[in-house]
Structure 1
Amino acid sequence: MKYLFLFLALSACQILDAQSASEIIKKANDKMRGKSSQAEMLFKTTRPTWSREMSVKTWSKGTQLAMILVLSPAKEKGIVFLKRKKEVWNWMPALERSIKLPPSMMTNSWMGTDFTNDDLVKEASVVDDYQHRLLKDTTIGSRPCYKIELIPKASTAVVWGKLHVTIDKNDYLELYTEFYDEEGSLVNVMKADDIKMMDGRLIPTHLEMIPANKKNHKTEIFYKSIQFNREIDDNFFSIEKMKQFN
């Protein structure tokens, strides 16, 4: 009988851990999204012999609607990416046509950066499409952090085979993430720092995506501004709206 009680106790702990891990992931995800967000960001992609910068404006509402507009450089100005639920669309002003991106393109580089299409447009949901498990706590700088493993659910098709996400315990800031492929090999590392108050919310304003096996390759994101919880109509996130930016 005592072994039965021990088994039940361990099972209960595992369930509580799973719920706790999922709750932490949701809080961190909500921290950077809010009910809606509008942001201006600078991307800087660095290679061994060159670097380039790109300015973008983004809008998001919940987890189902998102839009990214490229503002500069001139060559790419007006390119738009749209997410509506599980559909991702790309408007190319030079071709005057919109293209629906197939799931197979979610692993591709986004605009020549070290982020994938999925990383930026978030076709996959870290809250809904993964199972979450607490690992050993860790520390980044002076911040005590949770470390959580994300494994894709069997019913979902996602880009990554596994994620290890490190989240600050006090402010629920995602500070460090490891991205693994389906074979379990480390592909990318994302670091977040330069924590500031923006629109009344404490967030990391500088992100670095660093490929694991490409020396002197990285892409940085600098937040110029961000607003949370402003009203955005669902109709804003439409193929027709993509064309109106040009």
Structure 2
Amino acid sequence: MFVLTCLTANAHANEALTAFEVVERSDQQMRGESSYTESTMKIVRPTWTRSMSMKSWTKGQDLSLVLITAPAKDKGSASLKRYREMWNWLPSIERVVKIAPSMLGQSWMGSDFTNDDLINQSSIVVDYHHQIVEKEAFDGEVMYVIDAFAKEDAPVVWSRVRLWISESSYLQRKVAFYDEFDELVNTMSTYDVQEMGGRLIATRMEMVPADKPDQKTEMITHAAQFDFDISDDFFSQQQMKALRD
């Protein structure tokens, strides 16, 4: 009985994950080795709303591409990330604009998401130190609450990010973003967990600014695929310009 108890205790100890391992598993759960999603973004303001449809592709942590498919005035606009470099393609003026580090915190397409939020999501794994704060409930699930602190000289927007990651699915269910003064700027919450493309994903997310609680941006995922073959060459400026709905 003593030996059995020791073996059980050791097994549980081996199952304990570090904060980095939880964040890494979360990133892998949400994007896989590769991913494709179709989604709608709804920007809500006190006096108006507008919607955009988009498609997005990722490969690993370094390659991502987002294409706007509607409305007509934005159709064909695209954002590309290759490793540490990022660009926007603006078909209305037939121009590629490189996204400098100083532009990462700017609004993406007039939404409450930043350039960094949309096309540099895996940065949370490689550009931050991680620390488990506690465990608590969110939306009926037990969460790891993890603080991520930006590494010195990392090209990031947020100095601290607090994540609520599901203990069972490793999905990020809530994320709070803090500036260099450690003041809350935005909070993202996710809902409606469903199976798509063979894995669980949160199909609805809301980004709410801390100083503008009467506005938000909602992202709804309609379709998703994961872990398919896709060439690195797909993630190029040429492809960004050539993509069509």
TM, length-normalised to structure 2: 0.91
Offset of residue 216 of structure 1: 1.2
- Deviation, structure 1 residue 123: 6.8
Task: Using the TM superposition, give the Cα deviation of residue 192 of structure 1 relative to its aligned residue in structure 2, in angstroms.
Answer: 0.4
Of 110, 125, 128 in structure 1, the residue corresponding to residue 126 of structure 2 is: 128
CA distance in 1, matches of 2:175, 2:182: 14
TM-superposed CA distance for 1:155, in Å, is 3.5
Q: Over aligned residue pairs, what C-alpha RMSD do you find?
A: 1.5
Secondary structure at the aligned position of 1:110 is classed as coil
Alignment partners' CA distance in 1, 2:23 and 2:131 = 10
SS in 1 for 2:134: coil
Q: 1:18-57 alignment to 2 at 5 Å?
A: 20-57=18-55
> Which residue identity is paired with 1:92?
L
Deviations 1:58-113 (A, max 9, x none): 00000110000000010100001110000001111111121111110000000000
Q: In 2, Cα distance between the equivalents of 1:24 and 1:124?
A: 13
Structure 1 segments unaligned to the other structure (5+ residues): 1-15
Q: Look up the equivalent residue of 2:148 and give its one-letter code.
A: L
Check conservation: 2:196, 2:224, Cα contact below 8 A. Answer: yes
- Equivalences for residues 94-173 of structure 1 within 5 A: 94-122=92-120, 125-173=123-171
Tell me the secondary structure at the aligned position of residue 119 of structure 1.
Answer: helix
CA shift for structure 1 position 124: 6.3
Q: Residue 220 of structure 1 is aligned with which of 218, 221, 236?
A: 218
TM-superposed deviation, 1:52: 0.4
The alpha-carbon deviation at position 19 of structure 1 amounts to 6.6
Match of 2:77 in 1: 79
Identical columns (%)? 43
Q: Confirm or deny: 8 A CA contact 2:27 2:122 kept in the other structure.
A: no
Tell me the distance in 1 between the aligned counterparts of 2:47 and 2:56.
29
**Residues 1:123 and 1:192: Cα distance change in structure 2 (over 3 Å):** closer
* Consecutive unaligned residues in structure 2, runs of 5 or more: 1-13
- Given that 1:114 and 1:209 are in contact with CA atoms closer than 8 Å, whether structure 2 keeps it comes out as yes
- How far does residue 161 in structure 1 lie from its aligned partner after superposition? 1.3
Q: Equivalent residue of 1:165, what SS? A: strand
1:10 is matched with none
The aligned counterpart of 1:197 is 195
Q: Give the total of aligned pairs.
A: 230
Displacement of 1:141 in angstroms is 2.6
| Alignment check: 8 A CA contact 2:143 2:166 kept | yes
SS, match of residue 44 in structure 1: strand
Question: Given that residues 43 and 49 in structure 2 are in contact (C-alpha distance below 8 angstroms), is that contact kept between their aligned partners in structure 1?
Answer: yes
* Other structure's SS at 1:137 match: strand
3-state SS, counterpart of residue 242 of structure 1: helix
TM-score with structure 1 length normalisation? 0.91
1-side partners of 2:133 and 2:202: how far apart?
23
User: What is the DSSP-based 3-state SS (H/G/I as helix, E as strand, rest coil) of the residue aligned with 2:104?
Assistant: helix
